[in-house]
Structure 1
């Protein structure tokens, strides 16, 4: 149990709520943003004294039922709910091991989207599969050691990549990716490969370790990336991240605006194929 971080999160989550979003009357002038402590206590069915001790890091180990009540009262997202359970020293009751199995449906999607680069990742950012056009675009992401097939490991250890970004873009990606990995840690607290990855990343990358200690929790969504291909040149593509419901697998689909120079570049890449798709090691 991490009492100090639990206390901080409870205060932050309480401060971001307003009475209307929690189904409460506004109650006149408020000296501070968010809900009053007694309002959250009432919504969660707890005593104000106990909630005060939780928010000050002085309370004992809260039960799973108390954690669930607080999550409901604070209107937490699934990722935040999982994080709250972990901070309180409980496994998320909805957690399952990280899915690394490529389902038949996702395989069929890979087969049918032959003219679109598609990458499949698990919740730890480990490469599960890629179609031939993705391999032509980024290089062979399924070769090399297991660590070399993990996108976060590659990024934070400086392994070769065809993605080019400004310092600001890199910083935004890193913050979002680490927050996403922390959300995965909350969802899958007993997944040994995930725990080992986090420990190893903290040991090898000071930047990752600093971001990890910020305790941000979020789910990574879509973005735009510029890829410098050795034959086609620069391609700026939309990267839409779709989660496979019930499995946790993510499909990352790269696409260009129709008729744009980037679209023409992808068409040329389809012609070239995978002859320049050697591993990025």
Structure 2
């Protein structure tokens, strides 16, 4: 089964890779992406071997996985995923937590839209002032006080309210993200400890972990109870940040709505700095 999943992933990446991105001429092509012969040449293997890999008839070595990832010029996240599917831990196997320039630009360009950037383990790494202005994220000194999944299942916020349907969608996304992260980073001790602790502390999380629900959409709605302005309903949309294995969440209100007006009032009173890097010990 693992070989078939690895092969399917390689084929999907090969067919979605534009020739120009790996230094090959475009020309007239009858197939999408790269040909097997082209991937084989770039990775130093035969086209027949690439075919056997994609069909799940051959199990790759760790070196082959690395060669294919290098040939396709995939980002770290995809390399980690290929390693996991092939049954290997990547070089260090740790969840990356560096906020790259792409993620920083997102935060900088939407200063009036509440937004944060998180790593694959759902730890907040950076937030903008509009997000903090919502006033719901209170710190408690817990080791995982900046982890979205932990706060949702084990220490929920008083100022964050969702309908049953939205809570179901939100929880399904968090579990799916953590399961995917644990698959890609099996050697990350902190991530494993987080999952084990959550399974012990939260029965709903443990139930979802054992029988995850399918994710229909990576967004959900919630009411944020601001201490001065009152409730403002926002839709959170989770966006992938390719290459760095990060995610950004944007919170938006319906244009022209009362919620948009209340959000404008909240954000208008936010001070500096525009962006804060956060972590286990709070803003820094």
TM-score band w.r.t. shorter chain: 0.5 to 0.7
- TM-score (norm. length: structure 2): 0.62
Cα distance change on mapping 1:87 and 1:96 into 2, 3 Å: closer
Cα distance change on mapping 1:82 and 1:96 into 2, 3 Å: closer
C-alpha distance in structure 2 between counterparts of 1:183 and 1:163, whole Å: 26
Cα distance change on mapping 1:63 and 1:138 into 2, 3 Å: farther
Partner of 1:34: none
Say whether the 8 Å CA contact 1:85–1:91 is kept in structure 2. yes
**2:235 equivalent among 235, 238, 249:** 238
Partner of 1:157: 154
Cα distance change on mapping 1:166 and 1:101 into 2, 3 Å: same
Whether 1:174 aligns to 2:171 is yes
Whether 1:223 aligns to 2:181 is no
C-alpha distance in structure 2 between counterparts of 1:187 and 1:170, whole Å: 26
**2:107 equivalent among 106, 110, 134:** 110
C-alpha distance in structure 1 between counterparts of 2:84 and 2:92, whole Å: 11
Secondary structure, counterpart of 2:112 in structure 1: coil
C-alpha distance in structure 1 between counterparts of 2:111 and 2:190, whole Å: 31
Secondary structure, counterpart of 2:249 in structure 1: strand
C-alpha distance in structure 1 between counterparts of 2:262 and 2:187, whole Å: 43
Partner of 1:206: 203
C-alpha distance in structure 1 between counterparts of 2:223 and 2:56, whole Å: 50
Provide Cα deviations, 1:54-107, integer angstroms capped at 9, x if missing partner: xxxxxxxx9447xx9xxxxxxxxxx9998897588x126699532211223423
C-alpha distance in structure 2 between counterparts of 1:104 and 1:143, whole Å: 30
Provide Cα deviations, 1:82-135, integer angstroms capped at 9, x if missing partner: 8897588x1266995322112234234323322111111111111111111100
Secondary structure, counterpart of 1:241 in structure 2: strand
Provide Cα deviations, 1:171-205, integer angstroms capped at 9, x if missing partner: 33222321221111112222222111111111111
Cα distance change on mapping 1:155 and 1:186 into 2, 3 Å: same
Partner of 1:249: 246
C-alpha distance in structure 2 between counterparts of 1:125 and 1:118, whole Å: 14
Whether 1:44 aligns to 2:61 is no
Partner of 2:182: 185
Say whether the 8 Å CA contact 1:180–1:217 is kept in structure 2. no
Cα distance change on mapping 1:109 and 1:180 into 2, 3 Å: closer
Deviation at 1:264, TM superposition (A): 0.3
Gaps of 5+ in 1: 1-5, 14-40, 47-61, 69-78
Say whether the 8 Å CA contact 1:182–1:216 is kept in structure 2. no
Provide Cα deviations, 1:242-277, integer angstroms capped at 9, x if missing partner: 2211001111111112211111011111233269xx
How many residues align? The count is 216
Partner of 2:34: none
Secondary structure, counterpart of 1:148 in structure 2: coil
C-alpha distance in structure 1 between counterparts of 2:179 and 2:197, whole Å: 14
Secondary structure, counterpart of 1:149 in structure 2: coil
Partner of 1:268: 265
Secondary structure, counterpart of 2:256 in structure 1: coil
C-alpha distance in structure 2 between counterparts of 1:213 and 1:254, whole Å: 30
C-alpha distance in structure 1 between counterparts of 2:215 and 2:83, whole Å: 15
Deviation at 1:225, TM superposition (A): 2.2
